Amino acid sequence: MYNLLTSNGFGLEYAKWGHGKHVLLAFHGFGRNAEDFQPLAESLQASHTIYAFNLFFHGNSCYPNDRIEQHTISPQELTSLFSKFLESENISSFSVLGYSLGAKIALTLAEALPDRLIGLNLIAPDGIKVNFWYWALSHTLPGRAAYKSIIHRPGWFLGSVKLLAHLSLIDSKLQKFVVMHLESKEQRQLVYNVWMVFRNIQPNINNLAATINRHQLPTLLILGKHDRIIPPRIGAILANKLVQKDAVKVLETGHNLLSKKHLPTIVELLGNEVSSTTT
């Protein structure tokens, strides 16, 4: 089921489902995996061929350990890696689907390969707006030192998060999200590795919007009305710059938009993309 593409020390694991003419590259969120897209692939197998990727440090996708702290992967290297994948699978045109963290990959490919892209689909997308705390923790020496202390001694930080939630200074759902990803040392190390590796993968949204408009690239943003991780206002930053005025779909849910409950809606929306590109 899974294949592994290797290049320049990077290893990219991916699954392939379906047999349709419409090629879709799918990228999961933090702590998830490519299998999140299997139910979607089963519903779209007649119209789509879906390639779902495991991000670095997820599944068997690998990343050079000596490049976590310094010389982390650049947008150009990431594009080159996926260009090699496209060549190996003989893919000339494709759509992308990125959920949460995976949207960073989708946005990067949209910015770099607009001539080959026929659809940009984003679900609760990370990568549209730079979070200050993420920037501070991944781009500054004091920030990295502070997070490394959390890896080994998390009590003070988790206690602070609990207090902030108790005082209603942060949302309780956000508290649960933070605790879920930091409750074990392995999870805390995974957060650090992923944050560091993707710290330079940050598309220029103004340039990207101009590219989308110039190429008339069909764009879909699926957002959760009650999402406290990537609230709808984040998606609006990109949507408001687009000529296309029907790009945004807001569902009555939180961040977990890939749940079984929302599968029929996402299937329908992606099916509409196929219809629009064949008419």
Supply 40's token pair.
Answer: 């979607």
- The per-residue pLDDT for range 210-260, each reduced to its tens digit, is 999 999 999 999 999 999 899 999 999 999 999 999 999 999 999 999 999
Q: What three-state secondary structure class fits 249?
A: strand
pLDDT in tens, 86-137: 999 999 999 999 999 999 999 999 999 999 999 999 999 999 998 777 777 7
- From CA 141, how far away is CA 121, in angstroms rounded? 35
Residue with tokens 């005025």: 245
Best CATH choice for the domain 2-130+202-278 from the list 3.40.190.10, 3.40.50.140, 3.30.1550.10, 3.40.50.1820: 3.40.50.1820
Q: Cβ neighbours of residue 76 under 8 Å, at least 6 residues apart?
A: 112
On the question of pLDDT at 277 being above 60, the answer is no
Identify the burial level of 17 via C-beta atoms within 10 angstroms of its C-beta, where 0-12 means exposed, 13-18 middle and 19 or more buried: buried
pTM of the model: 0.90
Every domain of the chain and the residues it spans: 2-130+202-278, 132-196
C-alpha angle 49-54-56 in degrees, rounded to nearest 5? 145
Dihedral sign for Cα atoms in the order 264, 22, 29, 269 = negative
> In 3D, which of 251, 33, 228, 241 has the Cα closest to residue 131?
228
Mean residue pLDDT across the chain = 90
Provide the token pair at 104. Answer: 């960073």
| Among the ranges given (68-82, 165-179, 188-202), the one the predictor scored with the smallest mean pLDDT | 165-179
Please say if the pLDDT value at position 156 is more than 80.
Answer: no
